[in-house]
Amino acid sequence: MTAPATVDTGYEVVIGLEVHAQLLTRSKMFCSCSAAYTTAPPNSNTCPVCLGLPGALPVINRQAVEMTVRTALALNCEIPPFTKFDRKNYFYPDLPKGYQISQYDLPLSQDGHLEFDVDGVRTRCGVTRVHLEEDTGTMHHAGDVLQEATSSLVDLNRCGVPLMEIVGEPDLRSADAAREYLVRLRQILVYIGVNDGNLEEGSLRCDANVSLRVRGATELGTKVEVKNMNSFRAVHHAITFEIERQARVLDDGGALVQETRGWVEARGATVSQRSKEMAHDYRYFPEPDLPPLQLGRDLVESIRAAIPELPEARAARFSSQYGLSAYDAAVLTGVRAEADTYEALVDAGVSAKVAANWQMGDVAALANEHHVALADSGLGVGGLAALLALVESGAINGSTAKELLSELYIVGGDPAALVTERGLGQVGDAAQLAAVVAEVIEANPKACADFRGGREAALQSLVGQVMKATRGRADARMVTTLLRERLSG
């Protein structure tokens, strides 16, 4: 299924995304229970704090605060000197306290932005705030058919896991822009090590506020909140559907209802979630069990200093420093570990272009096949660098290097020793090659005649014959030169 084309509805589209990201801490937000909720048996990572038992007191996880500050700084936010937590009150079985500890009027950060390209156009989306709260438990519905279920099952292992909310400004103007914002945001979160970026499993979640207005209008239209989008594709499809649905309502002279709608993948549609329309009245008040935070400038600056070079900046540097195309630079910097591997190869003496070609070609294929990145493979960065040095010096040719790479990727080994041991050295001796070239010319009169007749491709088949005769070890460039000489003579 391909992404639906963006239809021009004649209205201006206004989209703002709210993203929730679980932080990669080891323990929960306000208690010392393990945050590894996916692998534990149900309700085995709980304690009086996250079960909401009377008298239990929360204590702030410092690492979660620092990760939120790191994120906020990476998104160009300001970090106010004073911040506090608040209670958001509502009853739902996945939150046994009867309130979620969140942040209301004095969040950890505010006034940031993210810049990215949408179809080559520089786009900027404001980030209203990044704040810290706690996740809820998970609900399972007994029976396959939701409407027929008579009971629901609650697992509180996830309850209290640190959750960061990244509120975006309504600055996005298309489904493409919304998807690109989310792609970029996810990339940054994973790059700085605060989130694993898994939309499918919900450690990263995205809600979209979508509204339309007549072009030129300054007031915002009635907004609809869209939920349940658990992939980039779903985000794009759901927003596209919602834009078209709203445009139809407005075209027919109707009025939109401010509501929450869930994306139903199977139906390819957003559906009103009536039960959640009950007026939200959260009665926020300052959390009396948690003293506020005063984040010193020293702490904030030390967190800022530890932020790695972000993907977009790194890609730009790869282009200018290593002479890579924008595409290659983007591919190599998309995942931080891959970018580190690339720079390690270059540092080990591999030329920039050669390192890029091998890493994005044969190495990527092997990593994919074996589910092991080069850095973690038996061969390792050092082994590949040694192998490519043999190509560079002319000791072996490219096809021998490919075979050795494939053979040594998992088990590792010393490429130079193997080349000597097996006699894989490149045949670059002119006299030796000349003899083989003469034999091949003798045995392939038709190909020779074709080449002489102007068919350039015939030469390739003759080169192939020489490679075959030398078990792939011939210096291909020298073979080509020799063949041209003999055939034009």
By CB under 8 A, tell whether 118 contacts other proteins.
no
List Cβ neighbours of 364 (8 Å cut-off, separation of 6 or more): none
Residues 400, 405, 406, CA angle at the centre, nearest 5°? 100
Please state, in angstroms and rounded to a whole number, the distance separating the CA atoms of residues 325 and 135: 42
Amino acid residing at 84: K
For residue 34, the minimal CB distance to other proteins (Å) is 4
Binding mask 274-313 for other proteins (x = CB under 8 A): -xx----x-x--x---xxxxx-------------------
User: Binding to other proteins by residue 77, rule CB under 8 A?
Assistant: no
Binder to other proteins among 6, 42, 176, 309 (CB under 8 A)? 42
Stretch that binds other proteins, among 62-70, 110-118, 380-388, 465-473 (CB under 8 A): 62-70
DSSP calls for 403-454: HHHHHHHHH---HHHHHHHHT---B--HHHHHHHHHHHHHH-HHHHHHHHTT
DSSP state of 297: H
Q: Looking at 196-204, 245-253, 272-280, 415-423, which segment touches other proteins (CB under 8 A)?
A: 272-280
The correct pick among 32, 38, 325, 393 for binding other proteins (CB under 8 A) is: 32
109 in contact with other proteins (CB under 8 A): no
What string of DSSP letters covers 169-238? Answer: PS-B-SHHHHHHHHHHHHHHHHHTTS----TTTTSEEEEEEEEEEETT--S----EEEEEE-SHHHHHHH
Q: How far is the CB of 8 from other proteins (least distance, A)?
A: 34
Regarding 193 and contact with other proteins (CB under 8 A), the answer is: no
Q: Is 145 in the site for other proteins (CB under 8 A)?
A: no
Pick between residue 98 and residue 361 the one whose CB is nearest to other proteins.
98
Residues near 53 by beta carbon (within 8 Å), at least 6 away in sequence: none
> Is 8 one of the binding residues for other proteins (CB under 8 A)?
no
Q: Which of 141, 233, 402, 486 binds other proteins (CB under 8 A)?
A: 141
Taken in order 165, 171, 176, 180, is the CA torsion positive or negative?
Answer: negative
Q: Contacts with other proteins: how many residues (CB under 8 A)?
A: 57
Contact residues: other proteins, CB under 8 A: 25-27, 32-35, 41-48, 51, 59-65, 82, 84, 89, 91-93, 105-106, 139-142, 146-147, 149-156, 262, 273, 275-276, 281, 283, 286, 290-294
